[in-house]
Every structure is written in structure tokens, then in C-alpha cells.
Amino acid sequence: MLLSGACFISPVSVGNDRCAPSAQAIPICTVLSDTAEYDGKEIIVEGLYRIVLHGSVLTSPACRKTYVNMRQASDYKGDRHASTVMRSLTKKDKFQSVDVIIRGTFHVAQQGQCFGQNCLSYEIEDHELICAVAPKPKANSKANHAVGHEAEHAEGATAPSQISLETP
């Protein structure tokens, strides 16, 4: 009986604490370190998804000062388990970070262009949510709290490709 139940476990999740390793998933920091290589390409990327006041972003603790605007594609689909995890984690605190693996098209803003209401330099048009899990707890949990509206819109406080995720 246990064996037949295992057939219904999502192939993209391992337990409840991490996404299964994917040889295809590229860390978002790798993409951001060579944006010209990935511009306009559909990729499978892993990072920290976070809802902000005017949309959502993808980032990583390894490159936490740069944020990628998230935009849902018209053909978006999400793994049922991953979507349930995402809703569950963000239900009590909509600004909760979620570790994700997504399939999307990466875009770099051209001169005079920016993405989303936060006017970011990068965007991923999200075609598919493959995996979502709670992030591992960190010693400094301030980065996992809500983005203050003042921090998002403080003039001159951050470059257009950056949003402060620290609470005031």
C-alpha cells in the first residue's frame, strides 16, 4: 500500500523541505551574473520568490541586492502541489519568501525601459511554477518580512534594479 501511495508524490518535491535537485535549474544569481547570455531565452531558474506591494520579485540570498520582476505569462501553469505550497506559505503572511523553481523567459530592460511598477532592470515572464517550498530558516529573519511601502518608493534610496527588503 505504501508503494502505491508513492506514485502520487509530485516528482518535483522531496519531502516538504526542498525541491528535488534539477540539473536544468539555473540559480538566479548565475543568470544575473551573465544577463546577456540569458536575455530573451526560456530557462528553468531557481530562487526566492517574494510578493512585494506592487507585484512580485525573484531574488536569492547570494545576490540579494538585485531583484527580478515576475510577470505571469498568458500560458502560465503551475504544478498542483507547488501551487498549494505557495498559497499555504503566503496565506498568513503574503510577503513570506518561497523557494521556487520556475520555467520562464528572462528579459533585460533596454535603455529607457524597466519592468513592473518597481521599474526593475530584469524580468522573468513566468510560464510554469515547477516547485515551491518554505525557505530554510536563517539567523537573520528580517529579510523575510514585508517590504515597507516607504522603502520601495524612497527616492534615491536604491537603484532601479534594487528594492530594499529590510523592514524599517
DSSP string computed for 95-157: T--EEEEEEEEEEEPPTT--BTTTTBSEEEEEEEEEEEEPPPP-S-GGGGSPPPHHHHH-TTT
**Domain presence at residue 43:** yes
**Domain presence at residue 104:** yes
- Residue-level pLDDT at 2: 37
Query: 159 or 111: which carries more pLDDT confidence?
Result: 111
Instruction: Give 25's contacts (C-beta < 8 A, 6+ positions apart).
Output: 19, 44, 45, 46, 101
Instruction: Give 2's contacts (C-beta < 8 A, 6+ positions apart).
Output: none
Q: How many domains are contained in the chain?
A: 1
What pTM was computed for the model?
0.72
Q: What is the mean pLDDT of the chain?
A: 77
**Domain presence at residue 79:** yes
Domain of residue 79: give its range. 11-153
Interatomic CA distance for residues 168 and 156, integer angstroms: 16
CATH number at residue 110: 2.40.50
Q: Give tens-digit pLDDT for 140-164.
A: 444 434 333 333 333 233 333 344 4
As a whole number, mean pLDDT of residues 44-72 equals 93
Which pLDDT band, with edges at 50, 70 and 90, does 18 fall under?
A: low
Residue 83 has pLDDT above 70, yes or no: yes
DSSP H or E segment with residue 83 = helix 80-92
- Residue-level pLDDT at 139: 52
**Domain presence at residue 25:** yes
As a whole number, mean pLDDT of residues 38-55 equals 94
Cell of 43: 530557462
Beta pairing partners, 131? 101
As a whole number, mean pLDDT of residues 86-95 equals 88
φ, ψ for residue 14 (rounded to 5)? Answer: -125, 110
- What percent of the chain clears pLDDT 90, i.e. is strictly above it? 54
Residue 151: closest CA among 140, 162, 142, 141: 162
Residue 96 has pLDDT above 80, yes or no: yes
**Domain presence at residue 163:** no
Residue 33, SS3? helix
**Domain presence at residue 24:** yes
As a whole number, mean pLDDT of residues 19-40 equals 90
- Residue-level pLDDT at 163: 46
- Residue-level pLDDT at 49: 94
**Domain presence at residue 45:** yes
Residue 70: closest CA among 28, 12, 10: 28
**Domain presence at residue 78:** yes
